[in-house]
Chains A and B, each alone.
Chain A
Amino acid sequence: MNFEWQLALRLLREGRAQTALIAAGIGLGVAVVVFLTALINGLQANLIARTLGSQAHITLTAPDRTVIPAQLPGPLEFQSVQPRPQRVAPILNSALLLRQLAAEPEITAISPLVSGAAFALRGTADKSVAVIGVDPEAYTRIIPLQTQLVAGEWRLGSEEAVIGRRLADELGIQTGDRLTLQSAGGRSLNVTVRGIFELGVKDPDRRWVLLSLRSAQNLLNLAGEITGIDLTVRDLFTADPVAARLQQQHDITAESWMTSNQQLMTGLRSQSASSSVIRFFVLVSVAFGIASVLAVAVVQKQRDIGILRAMGMPRRAVLRVFLIQGGVLGLFGALAGSVAGAGLARLFAGLVRNTQGDPLFPIALTPELFLSAIAVAVFTGLLAAALPASRAAALDPVKAIRNS
């Protein structure tokens, strides 16, 4: 073993009570960081998963129709501008657009759809519904509805539908039952309900009626057209800039899940910010702990440092000995803290449960979390050791030996 490493470890072992105390202190700090991060990450991942369980990362629609002022002679002043009513509009040149989107490296799934309002009629009951015509295979890559079925199967042939659980309950429908859909344009379609899904989100569960693309196009009188394209992107947090770019490049309106869930995003950001502040102060206290212990060690060991310098140990080597001690303290503390943090997280998951006895949300104990906690603790250790180490390296051997 390299002499500097050996000396650093020997010095830590020599002051083992001090070493154990500071390692425990670092461990406690790292445990708090690991636990808090796992908790917040798990909570946020759960919230995002729930949100995106019924939503695409980006939705493309035809651009809104805007008012174009009339070209009249003479000076004109508009006192008010009445916005135009927005009807369901198809996306122009959709086939070309779909090909261009398929070539985008950030986009991982594309699902064309046609949607519009309709009434669902069964016996004397009628409900206002959102008809969504999709390619069943492409759509499941956006929203995995096939995993959310509570009855029947994910099948969308001609005159077949999959509907939400609440809608089924309100209309008294079971799989295999028939349902009549009537569009605002007066067209109607009789479908057989093949599956019933439950996303746990009110609007889809109560209003969505999924049809095949062709059936919906016929019902909504949009033969061969699509009114929207759902997309997923590789990194869901890049949805905003990707949407902005797509809107700029094509004649479409692009809305990301981040824009349509502003409140959620504000909540997530606030949560992340408060968690970062807590982690920062924990790390600062860890750094002060390491720095103070090593500063004391430098004073206690100044005779040894003086002797080593007299025997020809370079200043840089002395510096490294104390930096190694800082890094090793950080590493040991981080290992102990990771184990303790994981234990705390598991204890939390075991104790805090919903009324069904399931954990409220999964705790995100990932290898990346542990690796980053260890890396941050080691870096903090090195940083905290820098000042005491440079003081040790700067010691004058004559004074160090004389003063001791």
Chain B
Amino acid sequence: MFRATPSLRPARLAAIGAAALLTAGIGVATAPAASAAPTAPGGWARVAHLSPDTKSVDVQLTALAGGAVVYELDDVAYGAVSPYIPLADGTYVVSMVPSDAADGTQPVVQQSIDIAEGEPLTVAAYGRNADLKTTVFEDDLSAPAAGQARVRVVQASTVEPTVDVDTAQGRPIARDVPAGSATDYAAVPAGSWDLELTGADESATSAVDLPAGSVSTLFVLDNAQGALTAQTITDSATLADMPVGGIHTGGGGTAAASTSAVDLPAGAGAGAAALALGAVALIAVRRRRRGEARA
């Protein structure tokens, strides 16, 4: 008779799964383990390197539950903001290590984050290297009103303690934004804007494109000359011109109870001018509504 021995320990759990995935740069999405999952996780996080005098870093996200490294990014340079990473609810540790560091070098940054569905986050390292800080911004990816865009400012300049952001036409976007902080999102008419960044000593302009349906973050940064600069990152987007209803995509030929009715694609057979197309579409709407009433 053989017993289960103590060493048939079913689970030396929670080792760290070493991610074998490497990417050439931040613009190249690593296939995270999560994306291969059959159901999409509901949480999102991304990572930003905003420290002007810190070298490129390798970023790793480790799940505390289960211990797997769920995401790795190599060579994240100053100013880079990673794509959003889909994550299941839970706690993760974000670590950043200098890309050229020897094995065993301590992380420049380690930050724990709690991920929950509907609460996207941006984890940022900012400040000068000698005074490096990390912070976690709560993001709001929800849809702007029709024809509008939303934008906020993350102030990561180390040369200006506070910055104003206005459109070139004088419309204020944000006032006295302190370093290391994010403003709320402001709704603006969709379009291209020239934004003025103004600090106590430095100022700059930045051309931004804010399409309808988009949500963006303007990151205020330093350049190599110690002057202000900025760049815009798309946080989320939806359809610029939001439709109503579904899409008629069937002719009924395989329907079980088909009566060989014809589900004409809009304008089909008309070969037709715009006016005719509009008329057909209107008729289709009325037929549909009658059908609805009976159903």
Our verdict on whether A and B bind, yes or no, reads no
Binding site for A on B (CB under 8 A): none
